[in-house]
Amino acid sequence: MEVSFSREAQMLRLGRGALFHGEGILAITKALLQSGVAYVGGYQGAPVSHLLDVLVQSHEYLAELGVHVEACSNEASAAAMLGASIHYPLRGAVTWKSIVGTNVAADALSNLASPGVLGGVLIIVGEDYGEGASVIQERTYAYALKSSLILLDPRPDLTRMVRIVEDGFALSEASNMPAMLQLRIRACHMRGSFVCSDNAAPAVSPLHLMEEPAAFDYAKLAHPPVTYGQEKLKGEERIPAARRYIVEHQLNEVFVGHHDDIGIVVQGGLYNSLIRALQQLGLADALGNAGPSILALNVICPLVPEQIHAFCLAKRAVLVVEEGQPEFIEQEILAILRRRDVNTPVQGKGPLPMAGEYTVEVIARGLADFLARVAPELAIGPGTAWLAQTNARRDAVAAQLAKPLPPRPPQFCIGCPERPVFAALKLAQQDIGPVHIAADIGCHAFATFEPFSMGHSILGYGMSLASRAGVSPMMNRRALAIMGDGGFWHNGLLTGVQSALFNGDDAVLVILKNGYTSATGTQEIISTPTADAKGDAADKQESQVHTNRLIEQTLEGIGVKWLRTVNSYHVADMRAALDDAFTTDFAGLKVIIAEGECQLERQRRVRPWQAQMLQKRKRLVRVKYGVDEDTCSGDHSCIRLSGCPTLSVKESSDPLRVDPVATVLDGCVGCGLCGENAHAASLCPSFYRGEVIQNPNWRDRVAARVRSAVIALFQPA
C-alpha cells in the first residue's frame, strides 16, 4: 500500500498525560495499545480499515512493544485467531466491516463464544448501516444475542470510546464472554481529543514467550457434550457476571434532565444525534443538558434489567431510540418491565421509523411525535418550525428541478484496468450473444452501472463463481463469473474454483488481477507485486503485477487446465480470449486472468516519482490521449464503450457542425483504452496518442524542430 500513515503511527507512541487529537478510529487503535493487547488481526473494510492499516505500518513499534499484528485473509480467519484467548491470558482484538464480515466470521464466532475466553477479546466492527452504506442493511445485534456476545456501542466521545475499549477487555475477562464494539461511520471519522495513558506491553508476547502449551481441557472445545454445559454457563454465570461489571463500573450513563418524568433510552452510538435533535426542538442546550432524562447504553447487550427498571420506574413515558430492525432493545425493555409489573408506557418504533438510518432529522421527527403524544405541554415550537422549514426547503428544491436529479453512481477511476475488460465483454457478447454474468464484491461491481450495466447477481465477497453453479447447468450458453484478486483470496478459491473443479463445471471465470484489495483501500495481498519488483523497475510508470504469478501457479496447482493471462488494456486480445472461452470444446473450468495494476495505486507510486524526476531536471515522458475533432464522427460510441470520466463531449469549433464532438479532458492518465477500443470495435479513427516530454534532451529538441518545419510546409501561409 502506497498510502502512508506515518503521522498516525507516531500518535500511537503518545504517553501518559499527552493530549491525543484525531479521528475516532485512531483513538480506538491507541486504546488497544493502552489496554495491553497482545495480538491484533482483522480484514479491512470501511469504516474500520484504518485500524489495521495503521497497525500494519507501525510494525516496528509494535514489535518493540511485543504486540503481534496479522493481516488476515478474511474475517473467518480473524475470528478464528481469537481462539488464542480461550486458553491463555492474552488480550486479543480483531476488526472487520459488519454485517458482511460478521456473516463470514459467524462459524468461528459461535465456536469462540461457546467455550468462552480467559483473555479479554474485543471485536471492533464497522457498522456500515444507512446513508452511504455499501452492504446489506442489517445490524450486528442479532449475532450478539444468538452467540451470547457482549455488544458495546459507545457514546461518540473520544474519552468515552477509549474508556469503553479498556473496560471492554476487562468486561470480557470478568464474564468470559467475547465482546464486540460497534462503530458507526460518523464515530470512526469524528475528531476529538483525549488524555493518553502509557501503552501497556503485554505480559505474554513474542518478547516473553510461554514455556508450555495449556493442558488439554475438553471443556474448552465447542463439542458435545460440553456444549450443553457451556450453554448453561452463558445464562447462569457469564451474563450475570457481565451485568455486575456493567453496573459496578458504570458503563452505561444516566443523564438526569429537568423534565425527569420523561425518559429516553438511547444506544450510546446515537447519543450525539439525539442531543442535536433535542437541541433543534429547544429541549437541550449546546452543552448537551437536556430536558428529558437519558439512559445512554454504551453496552447494548446484555441489558441490565435492574438498571432498565430503575430508570423507567417513575417515568410518565419512555422513548427507545434504537436504529434498525427488528426492535431488539425495545422488545427486551418491554419484557423486563412487564415481568416486574412496571407499566410505564414505552414507545420506540412508531414515533421512530422501523428501518433506515437515524439521522438528526429522523430522530427530531420521532421525538416531536412522541412528545406531542405524552407531554404536549413541552413547548417544542421552534423545533416544529425547523422541521417545517426543512420540508419546505426540500419541496422548493424539488419544485425547482421539476424532476428527480439524475442518479450519479460511483464508477471506475480514470484509467482503471477493469474498465477495458468490461468493454471487451460488451464486444464479446456481440459475437456470442448475451451471457449470464455472476458479479462479485469489489471495484468491478461498478460495471453494474452504466455504460456497462452488467451483472445478474452479487452473493458475497468471492462468491461469484459459486453463485453461478445453479445457473450453468440450466443455460444454453456458458455462464460467466467475475471476481477480483482480493475476492479470489478471500473466498473465491475455495468456494468457487475448488467446487467448480470438483464438480467438473463448464463455466468461465475472469479474475481481475490488479494487485491489491482495491475497493477497501488498496491493501496488499499475497499476490501483490513485491516492493523489490516495484523498486527495481527502470520505469516506475510500468505496471508490475505480472511479476507475481501466485494466482496462476495456484490455479495450475489445483488443476485448472484452461488458463489464459491477458493484459487488461488489450481489448482486442481480451475479446478474443472471451470468445474462445465461450466457444471452445473444452468442457471444464476456463479461467482468464485480466492483468493490469490498480490505477489508483499506480498513480500513488508514479506521481511522487514524476515529481522527483522533474525536480532533478530529468527527462520525463507522459502519455496522453486526445481526439481529433475534425475526424470525430460524433456518434459517441467510444463513450458508450468506455465510461472513462475524462472522455467527454464539447461543442465543435466547426460552425457547420451542430452536434458536440468527443474530447479528452486533462485528467487522462494515458491508459490507452481509448485507442484500444477504437481499434477493437472499429470506431472512427479520431483518437491520437500524444507524448508530453518534459526536460527534453537535444534529440527531442531536434525532432520537434524537424516536425514543426515539415508541418509548416503543408500549412497554408
668 binds ligand SF4 (CB under 6 A): yes
Rounded distance, CA 245 to CA 643, Å?
56
Q: How far is the CB of 440 from ligand SF4 (least distance, A)?
A: 13
Query: Taking CB under 6 A as the criterion, which residues in 427-446 touch ligand SF4?
Result: 443
3-state secondary structure 343-408: CCCEECECCECCCCCCCHHHHHHHHHHHHHHHCCCCCCHHHHHHHHHHHHHHHHHHHHHCCCCCCC
Q: Does 415 bind ligand SF4 (CB under 6 A)?
A: yes
Q: Residue 271 and residue 161: Cα distance in Å, rounded?
A: 13
The span from the CA of 76 to the CA of 72, in Å, is 9
Give the residue with the Cβ less far from ligand SF4, 196 or 671: 671
For ligand SF4, which residue of 647, 661, 662, 683 counts as binding (CB under 6 A)? 647
Where does this chain touch ligand SF4 (CB under 6 A) — which range of 78-86, 110-118, 187-195, 408-416? 408-416
Q: How far is the CB of 169 from ligand SF4 (least distance, A)?
A: 35
Using CB under 6 A as the binding criterion, the count of chain residues that bind ligand SF4 stands at: 25
- Taking CB under 6 A as the criterion, the residue among 128, 322, 418, 595 binding ligand SF4 is 418
Nearest approach, Cβ of 512 to ligand SF4 (angstroms)? 8
Closer Cβ to ligand SF4, 98 or 642, answer by number: 642
358 part of the interface to ligand SF4, by CB under 6 A? no
Spatial CA neighbour of 458 closest among 439, 435, 473, 443 = 439
CA distance 512 to 596: 8
Q: Would you give the binding string for ligand SF4 spanning residues 574-603, x where CB under 6 A is met?
A: ------------------------xxx---
Q: Does 412 bind ligand SF4 (CB under 6 A)?
A: yes
Task: Map the footprint of ligand SF4 across residues 670-709, applying CB under 6 A.
Answer: 670-674
Give the residues across from 687 on adjacent strands.
627
x/- binding map, residues 374-403, to ligand SF4, per CB under 6 A?
Answer: ------------------------------
Q: Which is nearer to ligand SF4, 74 or 543 (CB)?
A: 543
CA angle 608, 536, 68 (to 5 degrees): 80
Q: How far apart are CA 130 and CA 325, in angstroms?
A: 12
The candidate with the shortest Cα–Cα distance to 5, out of 57, 59, 61, is 57
**Residue 485 to residues 96, 444, 446, 469, Cα–Cα distance (Å):** 19, 11, 16, 20
Q: How far is the CB of 132 from ligand SF4 (least distance, A)?
A: 18
d(CA 243, CA 301): 9
| Cβ-based nearer residue to ligand SF4, 320 or 644 | 644
Among 5, 143, 386, 625, binds ligand SF4 (CB under 6 A): 625
- Shortest Å distance, C-beta 623 to ligand SF4: 8
Binding mask 36-75 for ligand SF4 (x = CB under 6 A): ----------------------------------------
- Sole binder of ligand SF4 in the list 518, 527, 528, 543 (CB under 6 A): 518
* Amino acid letter, residue 309: H
Question: Which residues lie across from 179 on neighbouring strands?
Answer: 122, 150
* Paired sense of beta strands 437-439 and 457-458, if any: parallel
168 interacts with ligand SF4 by CB under 6 A: no
Which C-beta is closer to ligand SF4: that of 135 or that of 668? 668
Q: What is the 3-state secondary structure (H, E, C) of 580-616?
A: HHHHCCCCCEEEEEEECCCHHHHHHHHHHHHHHHHHC
| DSSP strand pairing (647-650 vs 292-297) | unpaired
Between the alpha carbon of residue 329 and those of residues 139, 141, 265, 319, 322, the distances in Å are 12, 9, 9, 11, 7
Of residues 443-502, those binding ligand SF4 (CB under 6 A): 443
Q: How far apart are CA 485 and CA 508, in angstroms?
A: 16
Smallest distance from the beta carbon of 52 to ligand SF4, in angstroms? 18
Q: How far is the CB of 670 from ligand SF4 (least distance, A)?
A: 6
- Using the CB atoms, write b or e for 72-99: b if 16+ within 10 Å: bebbbbbbbbbbbbbbbebbbbbbbbbb
- Residue with smaller CB distance to ligand SF4, 414 or 594: 414
CB 677 to ligand SF4: min, Å? 8
**Shorter beta-carbon distance to ligand SF4: residue 161 or 512:** 512
**Helix 328-339 vs helix 305-312: angle between axes, to the nearest 10 degrees?**
80
Binding-site ranges for ligand SF4 (CB under 6 A):
412-416, 418, 443, 514, 518, 598-600, 625, 642, 644, 646-647, 664, 668-674
